[in-house]
Amino acid sequence: MNLNEIRARIETLKNRKIGMYRKDFLLTWEKTRDEIDATFDVADILRGLRDAGISPRVWDSGIAVSNFRDNSTRTRFSYSSACDLLGLYVQDLDEGKSQIAHGETVRETANMISFLTEAIGIRDDMYLGEGDKYQREVGKALDDGVAAGVLPDRPTVVNLQSDIDHPTQSMADFLHLAHHFGGLSKLKGKKIAMTWAYSPSYGKPLSVPQGIIGLASRFGMDITLAHPEGYDLIPEVVELSKKQAKESGGSFKHVNSMDEAFQGADIVYPKSWAPYDVMLKRVPLLHAGDQAGLKDLEKACLANNAKFRDWECTEQKMKLTAGGKALYMHCLPADITDVSCKAGEVAATVFDRYRDDTYREASWKPYIIAAMILLGKFQDPAKVLAGLVERNRKRVG
Amino acid sequence: MNLNEIRARIETLKNRKIGMYRKDFLLTWEKTRDEIDATFDVADILRGLRDAGISPRVWDSGIAVSNFRDNSTRTRFSYSSACDLLGLYVQDLDEGKSQIAHGETVRETANMISFLTEAIGIRDDMYLGEGDKYQREVGKALDDGVAAGVLPDRPTVVNLQSDIDHPTQSMADFLHLAHHFGGLSKLKGKKIAMTWAYSPSYGKPLSVPQGIIGLASRFGMDITLAHPEGYDLIPEVVELSKKQAKESGGSFKHVNSMDEAFQGADIVYPKSWAPYDVMLKRVPLLHAGDQAGLKDLEKACLANNAKFRDWECTEQKMKLTAGGKALYMHCLPADITDVSCKAGEVAATVFDRYRDDTYREASWKPYIIAAMILLGKFQDPAKVLAGLVERNRKRVG
Amino acid sequence: MNLNEIRARIETLKNRKIGMYRKDFLLTWEKTRDEIDATFDVADILRGLRDAGISPRVWDSGIAVSNFRDNSTRTRFSYSSACDLLGLYVQDLDEGKSQIAHGETVRETANMISFLTEAIGIRDDMYLGEGDKYQREVGKALDDGVAAGVLPDRPTVVNLQSDIDHPTQSMADFLHLAHHFGGLSKLKGKKIAMTWAYSPSYGKPLSVPQGIIGLASRFGMDITLAHPEGYDLIPEVVELSKKQAKESGGSFKHVNSMDEAFQGADIVYPKSWAPYDVMLKRVPLLHAGDQAGLKDLEKACLANNAKFRDWECTEQKMKLTAGGKALYMHCLPADITDVSCKAGEVAATVFDRYRDDTYREASWKPYIIAAMILLGKFQDPAKVLAGLVERNRKRVG
């Protein structure tokens, strides 16, 4: 984007009806279409500014809290990069993975870390029924803190992956699609296959496939969700996606065949996840610290997985897609057959061909996160961005 | 504070006689009353600037070392927030909790981490007789480094809790009191009850109660220190507080009854700590890594604690205070009966009523820390602050 | 340096023929003499600017990745300080020490952490044959990422210690020598003794002595490398150093006597390392996680070490040096006899006399690292530095 394009995009943003100020970004389906689009606008503008050498730094000081209750490399770096780009210093909150805080502790910690804090990024995807709940509890505590005059301002909470959604991933994925296909409007009528794929590992969260169907269904796409019997997602999210698909002028098919999903697809997203049932059973075992029970569950689950080794994104399967050239997507790291494991989600030659695409896909995440923060913190984001253009401060040199 | 009030406060600061430049902030009783007041001035001014949207950033680059030899969430965040507000990047020094460095190692490390360092925050409260000693050893090494021309400038050491004092806590507590009661001068003649309270945990440091009596005794307050027999603090600190109380026109009572302390109190600070004797016994066991010995000591100590379950800040006890409305204080987290434990330091209804007050109390800590750094680093802090007002750089946007 | 001296030095830099832009700094012997000198120029200029109170911050935002695959305090702080000085935020990449990444994982991680990244510092010195290889693999992945349009810019990789070289150490050491002796040109004909010394510990990397002989041999120095029989360095590095010494008009002697090395030396660098053979044997044991095998190897190695306790830098040995006053150097921490251990690399009185010198030696490291980053990231570093002088932004206040 050149400066004129940046300015035009700021005008577009100005005309959107959004109410994201002092709100958190937890689930894409809680956001209006205008708010989704505004997030893409801001992400594009921030990247445009940086590419043009103009510093998008809006804070001269300020803290961004990074609360990872599960391992992460790429989201951690995306979050740090986003915060640093805006001028925020990232302070880790290490609560320990296993500990689930409740009530008083959450309320207190949320306030104690927020006196000079602008944003709080939280990854909490280990326990079904807990991650999203925890993020809302933090948000509520912050609201109370502001209302009581304890906090000078409301930090914005960004969901860096919960048990339900992974909005920084799905939004980055779709900004990638918008750029790949020449605009969000081009997604209408495109067929996307969100399918389970075989992996030798176990217990991968449901939030990525849920995030994808929950967002794809906003753009009038033809969605096929495919997985072996028993590998369900959270039923409410599937129902919601069906409803949204219909409302946006698209469609939603739910099948048990990878081939059927790939047939004529414009986009394929083959990715392993653990069955909903297993994730449910895991929660009390994790809570109880029942290592033997967890081991048994893992064993049973892996044995079941093994029945579906043919759920692999092979060259053969790719041939079923539209023109044999569907865009392959993955949140990375992928389980690549004969590379990262003996048998995995994707054939090495397929992955090789799309590697740069998946890297490009990932490259949007820092900007998406920065956009979420900016929109949560400023009532008039267009004005703030216009101010950056006008200020015209060099990022480098 | 509006800009005029900020300017007026800078004038007040200008008239104080202070000698804090290139000195460390280790114990409040090593500071003159003017220096204590200057610290409050600077904290208030920095908060005023931030609230007014003016950036208090004084460094364009610079390192702040964070050396936590014991766990911390709130002080860690306060320190990070303070440093970031001033423009410093926080680099953790992870030495491992158990390791006590001496002599050559301290001297060398202190210099190696300080070539571009402006501030060093140290928490070292595990070993009685060690924490303060270690902080002074670091300070001495820095003095030597400057004298030898090895270091371009003297980083200032801030005590983030030692075995003796917890000045960032006590100073934040008293800045809270100043705001609560309408000025430090209003504290004269107020009755403060620093009392032990029951907790099911063990080994809490003595530095908070010591910090409170050591600072309360500077303002002409009527102090009552209360604890069960045997739960003594470091005798020298109690003696010093008595002396200071007298000199400042206040009084100091030392009793073995929580009720007596609460009687007519304007402020109550009920908080558990380990007996001085136990802390003394713990040191050689910790040094020897004698886990069995430590376990035995803990068991004996908890058994003894259990005799004093009635040392709880209940509604009944609160009724004994002045008008039944004493201000409840705590450094957090509190052990709340039926919330964080079965029986603890404070009843849930009492804590509920004062929760926001305790949060506000904590909110001063980042500014107190920033003030300590600023006063240690600048010979003419009033000029620096006036410069910030004049520069009038926006913190946001 | 005053401003005129800084300006003059920028002129000197301008006249150097350098091709460091978008290149990594992995081994000093891959750099031309002009490039080595340019690195010293930039380090001196950056320090000069900071000492003059002028901010050398060139980035308004940007990430620096810190990837330590082995413990470090001083290099970690040097790296953080360097990055912060230039305006970069340091994000740690914690991959775990034991894990060696290969192929797909390295390629992917290198890209995923680099979307907004300017520099990547890597310490990887545990496995002979691995560290340098890994750093090159990262560099290659970054090149590919730039070529594919995935990365907006090429982050520069800085070797913070590999199995082969430790250029931030050796370059800091020689900038110290340049200042100590009044210029690099004064090193010509100086005798430097890089000698093994006894230590009660085991497995110290070879990269420091290799870095020293690999760099000393660029300046026409008379090098003596001394160690007990069997304590060889990587043969290729020794051969290369011999060749370089000759080319630069110096000489290279390889002996098995500490006394012979000290005889008439202007500079002595007595430092323990593990024998090349042992390091080779260690690799498969480490890979296999063979704790028993490692223990046996350590035992045998320490027993062998014990035969060479007289390889200590004593007062007596110092008397052998030129005028008895050779400059003692060490990368720190040194094993000091009767201080950090019973018998070590250096006598306490010798170390005492040179302590400040070793601290000064270390003080150059942050500036050397900052120089390496700047030279890797800017095509016209002289212009960038001149811009900083002209901008004349205060670092403090």
Q: How large is the average pLDDT for residues B110-134? A: 94
B151 DSSP β-pair partners: none
The CA distance from C346 to A115, in Å, is 50
pLDDT at C212 > cutoff 80 = yes
The CA distance from B48 to B175, in Å, is 14
pLDDT tier for residue A312 given thresholds of 50, 70 and 90: very high
Q: How large is the average pLDDT for residues A383-390? A: 98
C58, C63, C387 ranked by CB distance to A84: nearest: C63
Contacting residues of C for A359, CB less than 8 Å apart: 108, 111-112, 145, 148, 150
Tell whether C97 is within 8 A of chain B (Cβ): no
The two structure tokens encoding residue B90? 């926080």
pLDDT tier for residue B98 given thresholds of 50, 70 and 90: very low
Tell whether C149 is within 8 A of chain A (Cβ): yes
Neighbours of chain A (3+ CB pairs under 8 A): B, C
What is the number of other CB atoms lying within 10 angstroms of the CB of residue C133?
16
> For the segment B212-232, what is each residue's pLDDT rounded down to a tens digit?
999 999 999 999 999 999 999
pLDDT at B355 > cutoff 70 = yes
DSSP code, position B88: P
Length of chain B: 397
* Closest listed residue to residue B242, CA positions, set B208, B267, B214: B214
- The verdict on a CB contact (< 8 Å) between B150 and C360 is yes
pLDDT at B201 > cutoff 80 = yes
The two structure tokens encoding residue B324? 């039944």
Listed in sequence order, the residues at least 6 apart from C40 whose beta carbon sits closer than 8 Å to its beta carbon are C171, C174, C175, C178, C184, C371
* Closest listed residue to residue C271, CA positions, set C181, C185, C361, C152: C361
The CA distance from B346 to B198, in Å, is 9
Q: How large is the average pLDDT for residues C227-238? A: 97
Tell whether C285 is within 8 A of chain B (Cβ): no
* All domains of chain C in start order, with CATH: 3-165+365-391 (3.40.50.1370), 169-362 (3.40.50.1370)
Q: How large is the average pLDDT for residues A300-314? A: 95
Tell whether A89 is within 8 A of chain C (Cβ): yes
The pLDDT assigned to C97 comes to: 44
pLDDT tier for residue B87 given thresholds of 50, 70 and 90: very high
B 366-395 residues with CB < 8 A to A: 366, 393-395
CB B252 within 8 A of CB B225: yes
- The verdict on a CB contact (< 8 Å) between B57 and A61 is yes
> For the segment B315-345, what is each residue's pLDDT rounded down to a tens digit?
999 999 999 999 999 999 999 999 999 999 9
The pLDDT assigned to B95 comes to: 67
> For the segment C296-306, what is each residue's pLDDT rounded down to a tens digit?
999 999 999 99
CB C343 within 8 A of CB C200: yes
Q: How large is the average pLDDT for residues B355-383? A: 98
Nearest residue of chain A to residue C382 (CA atoms): A397
pLDDT at C94 > cutoff 90 = no
- Of A1-15, A340-354, B286-300, the one with minimum mean pLDDT is B286-300
> For the segment C318-344, what is each residue's pLDDT rounded down to a tens digit?
999 999 999 999 999 999 999 999 999
pLDDT at B353 > cutoff 90 = yes
pLDDT at A240 > cutoff 80 = yes
> For the segment A2-18, what is each residue's pLDDT rounded down to a tens digit?
999 999 999 999 999 99
The pLDDT assigned to C196 comes to: 98
Tell whether C211 is within 8 A of chain B (Cβ): no
> For the segment A70-118, what is each residue's pLDDT rounded down to a tens digit?
778 889 999 999 999 999 999 999 765 445 567 888 999 999 999 999 9
DSSP code, position A356: H
CB A327 within 8 A of CB A42: no
Question: pTM of the entire structure?
Answer: 0.97
The pLDDT assigned to B61 comes to: 97
The pLDDT assigned to A222 comes to: 98
Tell whether C322 is within 8 A of chain B (Cβ): no
Q: What stretches of chain C adopt beta strand conformation (E)?
A: 63-68, 89-92, 117-124, 156-162, 191-195, 222-226, 251-255, 267-270, 327-328
- Looking at every residue in chain B, the average pLDDT score rounds to 95
* Closest listed residue to residue C364, CA positions, set C180, C212, C91: C180
CA B350 centroid distance within chain = 24
CB A128 within 8 A of CB A282: yes
Q: How large is the average pLDDT for residues A21-49? A: 98
CB C113 within 8 A of CB A359: no
Distance from CA of B292 to the nearest CA of C (A): 28
pLDDT at B100 > cutoff 80 = no
The pLDDT assigned to C72 comes to: 84
Contacting residues of A for B347, CB less than 8 Å apart: none
DSSP code, position A396: B
Q: How large is the average pLDDT for residues B259-282? A: 95
Higher pLDDT, C130 or A175: A175
A150: left (phi over 0), alpha (psi -120 to 50) or beta: alpha
The pLDDT assigned to C98 comes to: 41
The CA distance from A112 to B360, in Å, is 10
> For the segment A183-221, what is each residue's pLDDT rounded down to a tens digit?
999 999 999 999 999 999 888 899 999 999 999 999 999
C58, C108, C387 ranked by CB distance to A333: nearest: C108
C 65-84 residues with CB < 8 A to A: 65
* Closest listed residue to residue C141, CA positions, set C124, C128, C132, C154: C154
DSSP code, position C307: G
The pLDDT assigned to B101 comes to: 64
Query: How far is it between the farthest Cα atoms of chain A?
Result: 62
- Looking at every residue in chain C, the average pLDDT score rounds to 95
The two structure tokens encoding residue A260? 């059927």
Q: What percent of chain C has pLDDT over 70?
A: 98
Listed in sequence order, the residues at least 6 apart from B381 whose beta carbon sits closer than 8 Å to its beta carbon are B13, B18, B38, B42, B374, B375
Q: What percent of chain A has pLDDT over 90?
A: 89
B294 DSSP β-pair partners: none
Which residue of A51, A74, A84, A332 to mutate against C (max C Cβ within 10 Å)?
A: A84
Contacting residues of A for B71, CB less than 8 Å apart: none
The CA distance from C47 to C374, in Å, is 13
pLDDT at B118 > cutoff 90 = yes
pLDDT tier for residue B97 given thresholds of 50, 70 and 90: very low
- The verdict on a CB contact (< 8 Å) between A84 and C103 is no
The pLDDT assigned to A71 comes to: 77
